[in-house]
Chain A
Amino acid sequence: MIDNTLPQGLRDNPRLDQWIGFEVPNRVRISTGKVELGQGVLTALAQMAADELDVAISRIDMSSGDTSCTPEEGYTAGSLSIENSGGSIRRVAAHVRAMLCEAAAVQLSCRAGELRVSDGQILRGGTPTGLDYWQLAPLLDLTTSASGGTQLKSAAERHVMGTSWPRTDLHGKILGAATSFIHDLAPADMLHARILRQPWPDAELQGPSDIDMQATLGTSVRLVRLNTFVTVVAAAERDVVSAAERLATRLHWRGGTPIQRDDTSPASLKTQPSTTSAVSRGDAPATTEVAAKRISRSYSKPFLAHASIGPSCALAHFENGSLTVWTHSQGVFPLRGALARALRLDPAHVRVIHVPGAGCYGHNGADDVACDAAIIARELPGRTIRVLWSRADELAAAPFGPPMLVELEATVAPSGLPLSWTTRIWGGSHLRRPGAHGNINLLGAQALPDQPVPAPSAELPEQAGGSGMRNAWLQYAVSHQTVHNTLVADLAPRTSAMRGLGAFANVFAIESFVDELAAEAAADPVAFRLAMTPDTRARAVIEKAAAMAGWRAGDRRPEGHGRGFAFSRYKDRAGYLAMVVDVGVEDTVKLQRVWCAVDAGLVISPDGVRNQVEGGILQSASWTLKEQVLFEDGRVASCSWDSYPILRFSEVPEIDIALMDRPDDAPLGVGEVAQGPTAAAIANAVADALGLRLRDLPLTRERIIAALQKP
């Protein structure tokens, strides 16, 4: 029987040798299905293994994201790697350490309890016994399943967890190591390829003919075309770049479904084909409770781009019926499944290997470019095909974070506190990853013949944290809540998972609305939140952030300056975060200072948590103040950094982060914890500065001027 208290990764991959091995003398292999996205996860997982095993972290070799040899752990997403993969690795390491000590005890004819371990050496009475892990490991059967029953190290016994161990992946990137990124792989048999995209879905290629196209390209560049999937391939990268530019102007596209700009605004979500579900929690308000008033407000966010700093890249090699793909995808196993289906290959003949790419915050172009490379590789067996997307494709062809509209309504008691609360959400899908809902969901595959009709996208279940409904439930004590969730499943252009999913818009809306309710009640925003917060850990971060900023009820800021507050616990179950933001507002919003308190439970790497939270704050500030995908002439118009601007160095505030000290609690994910609260804290600060409320993101100069000019 499988212990259902084990982390998901260990339930799916129970064998010890899937996670750990001692194949190389004096080295320990730790395998994970999670991948390095620049979040430092491989270092943190190595820290956890080192402590549980009592070996130096420098002896640990992390093996990550390879369908041929690492555990299947789905996607590296949802702020789950430390809780899930880390939880698995700790239990496996503790179990194997106990097995090694038992084996040593047999050899030494003593009790295992008499033995200690120092960097893999077995000690008895503090003296080396001459036995070490590498002598003992061959005696163990590591094909057995992890029990999860071995005691994990207590706070006092841990030495590596809880320290800011330098990231193992960052060093080479700073020193200019030869192959830091997938973009740097250059096998001898490599051919470069570029893709010429349809202007919009279902557009048909009217011409020129393949013969004419090939004539345009000359002899050094080869055309590879399957229906509307048009690519150029050559040995020299400069040749494919110039060929793609030449050919792009000559392609005649006809028909298809241009993007209707009117259908891309958050307000248009209400009029598009959709499905709605409604769920209530708590009892209906008692009739004796008299609502003093009913207040409703509406908030929105637009389409957002992942806007990775490096365009998506992949390599693929097809030979003797087997496909190997090198990718910076967040999920090598789901990608393998989707590629096998799209190309009609046996998954056993597809190997997908993760190689770090530029920063990735969800389902960006990584999977699609891998499919592009795989399709071309199958047409040109025996050569390794490298595809690099253009900047324009990175900003326009990758899936977007969906627009959302969130309407909130509360009945309010005479005290000003909410009695009942209704949330109405409209949004596009957050979940069109490869394999989701049984679909292939790879852009290039749409051009292949006989592709299955995709099933409609759906909401992620509550036990997985929801998607559009993520963080829709209040973390405040309101006795009756109802959430209506309307999903526009076929929204065009394509939308999918982006850091925080629905939590970004939902927390922005809820925490803005809480400030509006506090203002209606003439209450201090911090005191108002505390008055409806029973959770002691939530109260602690709220009070900590307020104290860091020197928050005082009723403080007036100078003209044009504002201070805002926000709180959230990500997914109702991951890390807690509260923050204060100071802004100056003239025609644009200038971030001045951020104070932030985070409860991440047991912190594996304090600097790793700070880095994730700092980055989350700045990225969310960029979404909040600057970002929206633009549409024109049936297609995405924001194809450059000029038309899709992101936060610059000159716009970055000073950030203070405090981590709550909770070494005896379980670790809680923090990768996405800052996205929602940052937007709300900025919006609340802007409202404080201007004396009027902006409810539609982004909070641009145009929006501010328009709001100020309203009579």
Chain B
Amino acid sequence: MSASRLLHINGQSYPLLAPGDASLLDVLRNDCGLMATRFGCGAESCGACVVLVDGRTVHSCTRPADSVVGHAVTTLEGLAIDGRPHPLQQAFIDEQAGQCGYCLSGILMSAKALLDRNSKPSRAEIVAALDGHLCRCGAHARIIRAVERAAVTLAATAHQS
């Protein structure tokens, strides 16, 4: 195992010391201490473990950690900007978009990927982007509203700057 293998997560470097078959989720939680990414099923079926790799959504539960060496990984911990909530996070707070909140880490990452590639998504596009995520509490309607609100906020911010 080469000591030069580094993971780039949320703009920081972490040495990858786990065996080659260790999942990215396992390494994030157990080696990097980044606990916001969640285990739900281990089979890419629920979306609780979704993170971004080079801006694209990835199920970290099945993705080997060594396959993302040299790529930029973003987790929920990396969403805040200068210590302040990302507009997407603020929109979820404003809409109180969640009940237990366990599904939200993955949903926020998929929503981030969506808004990065499509700043004015339709409701149908939001639903399509989130359809791989399961929520058992039934917070879906307010989660959709939160993504819609974030898009409006981000558009206003972009317009000002």
Contact = CB atoms under 8 A, between A and B. Distances in A.
Contact of B134 (A183, A238, A309): A309
B114 interface: no
Interface in A618-661: 618-619, 622, 640-642, 646-650, 652, 654-655
A178 B36 CA distance: 7
30 contacts: A38-B100, A171-B93, A173-B104, A174-B98, A174-B104, A175-B76, A175-B89, A176-B77, A176-B80, A181-B38, A183-B38, A186-B35, A236-B30, A309-B46, A309-B137, A310-B39, A310-B40, A358-B100, A360-B100, A391-B43, A611-B139, A615-B138, A619-B137, A622-B138, A640-B43, A641-B46, A642-B45, A649-B130, A649-B143, A650-B127
Interface residues of B, number: 55
A464 B150 CA distance: 44
A167 interface: yes
A247 B89 CA distance: 42
B79 interface: yes
A614 B142 contact: yes
Contact of B141 (A236, A361, A607, A618): A618
Interface string A162-176: 001011011101111
Given A179-B35, A238-B18, A391-B42, A618 B96 contact: no
A703 to B, nearest CB: 23
Interface string A345-372: 0000000000011111100000000000
Contacts of A356: 100
Contacts of B46: 309, 641
Given A310-B38, A391-B40, A176 B96 contact: no
A612 B100 CA distance: 11
Interface of B: 18-19, 22-23, 26, 29-30, 33, 35-36, 38-43, 45-46, 48, 75-77, 79-80, 85, 89, 92-93, 96-105, 108, 127-128, 130-131, 133-144
A612 to B, nearest CB: 8
A616 B104 contact: no
A346 B76 CA distance: 43
Nearest to B106: A309
B43 A649 contact: no
A308 interface: yes
A671 B44 CA distance: 30
A180 interface: yes
B101 A174 contact: yes
Nearest to B98: A170
B5 to A, nearest CB: 17
Contact of A170 (B26, B76, B80, B96): B96
Given A38-B102, A237-B26, A361-B136, 13 more contacts: A38-B99, A174-B101, A176-B79, A178-B33, A238-B23, A309-B48, A358-B136, A359-B100, A391-B40, A615-B99, A615-B138, A618-B138, A652-B144
Contacts of B29: 237
A619 B108 CA distance: 21
Chain A at the B interface: SS class: loop
A236 B137 CA distance: 31
Contacts of B136: 307-309, 358-359, 361, 619, 646
A390 B61 CA distance: 13
A181 B100 CA distance: 9
B101 A170 contact: yes
B22 A654 contact: no
A179 B77 CA distance: 12
A515 to B, nearest CB: 24
A378 to B, nearest CB: 25
A310 B48 contact: yes
A358 B102 CA distance: 5
Contacts of B103: 309
Contacts of B131: 648-650
B80 to A, nearest CB: 7
Contacts of A39: 99
Nearest to B22: A238
A388 interface: yes
